[in-house]
């Protein structure tokens, strides 16, 4: 509902004699300015105006891969996380994957990993809503490490979990190219699945 106030002024006494008689009658007894206000009410339906901050569905695909196992995937953003310490060199973690808590704890306990995850989340939280506003339907983010088994998987899972919590209207899909079984880990199983890397 838009309300617009319109104001009109009666002519001053010194100017009355210059006006037609019919208009002279508009002058008040004091001969000065006497404002009259009219209220003009304009009713605008919300559908006619622009709806700000409209939530739009966006598919965000987070994928992981190994640099030593094949070609680079197609992605809108790609990050190389080989700068993080590699669980592969910890004997009890070597055969595990970033879908398992011991590996995630090892990777995400590193201060540099924590900084990196926070920075990525902050970047995506700024970029994704703008993409949704522009009508983008799908956005792909890729994380790579040497074998695509430990570091990239742990990072992708952490970021995917954060986005699912902060952007429930987006479809967040996580896939791990180098892990056995289905390339796509179902969302409701992503926190529980345990896969071993290809030999």
- Residue predicted with more confidence, 11 or 108: 108
**pLDDT above 60 for 114:** yes
Tell me the pLDDT band of 32, cut-offs 50, 70 and 90: low
Cα–chain-centroid distance for residue 4?
36
Range of weakest confidence among 30-34, 68-72, 127-131, 138-142: 30-34
Predicted structure pTM score = 0.65
Q: List pLDDT tens digits, range 167-183.
A: 999 999 999 999 955 44
Element (H, E) at 56: none
What is the C-alpha to C-alpha distance for residues 49 and 18, in angstroms, rounded to an integer? 46
Tell me the pLDDT band of 188, cut-offs 50, 70 and 90: very low
Q: List pLDDT tens digits, range 40-64.
A: 444 444 444 333 444 568 999 999 9
What is the C-alpha to C-alpha distance for residues 129 and 79, in angstroms, rounded to an integer? 20
Q: Which residues contact 189 (CB under 8 A, 6 or more apart)?
A: none
Residue 185's Cβ-side half-sphere holds a number of Cα atoms within 13 Å equal to 25
Look at phi and psi of residue 155 and say left if phi exceeds 0, alpha if psi is from -120 to 50, else beta.
Answer: alpha
User: Residues 123, 173: contact at Cβ < 8 Å?
Assistant: no
Q: What percent of the chain has pLDDT over 70?
A: 62
**pLDDT above 70 for 34:** no
**pLDDT above 80 for 92:** yes
Token readout for 93 is 């973690």
Give CA separation, 78 vs 9, 67, 141, 152, 172, in Å. 66, 12, 6, 11, 17
What is the C-alpha to C-alpha distance for residues 46 and 94, in angstroms, rounded to an integer? 58
């Amino acid at each position: 509902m838009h309300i617009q106030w319109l104001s009109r002024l009666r002519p001053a006494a010194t100017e009355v004699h210059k006006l037609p008689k019919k208009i002279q009658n508009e002058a008040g007894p004091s001969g000065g300015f006497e404002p009259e206000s009219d209220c003009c009410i304009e009713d605008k339906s919300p559908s006619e105006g622009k709806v700000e901050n409209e939530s739009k569905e966006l598919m965000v695909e987070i994928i992981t891969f190994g640099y030593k196992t094949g070609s680079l995937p197609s992605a809108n953003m790609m990050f190389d996380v080989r700068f993080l310490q590699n669980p592969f060199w910890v004997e009890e973690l070597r055969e595990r994957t970033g879908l398992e808590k011991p590996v995630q704890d090892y990777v995400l306990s590193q201060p540099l990993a924590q900084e990196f995850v926070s920075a990525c989340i902050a970047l995506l939280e700024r970029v994704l809503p703008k993409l949704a506003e522009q009508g983008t339907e799908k956005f792909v983010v890729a994380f790579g490490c040497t074998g695509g088994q430990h570091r990239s998987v742990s990072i992708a899972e952490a970021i995917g979990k954060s986005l699912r919590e902060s952007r429930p209207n987006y479809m967040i899909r996580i896939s791990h190219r180098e892990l056995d079984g289905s390339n796509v880990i179902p969302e409701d199983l992503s926190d529980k699945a345990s896969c071993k890397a290809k030999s």
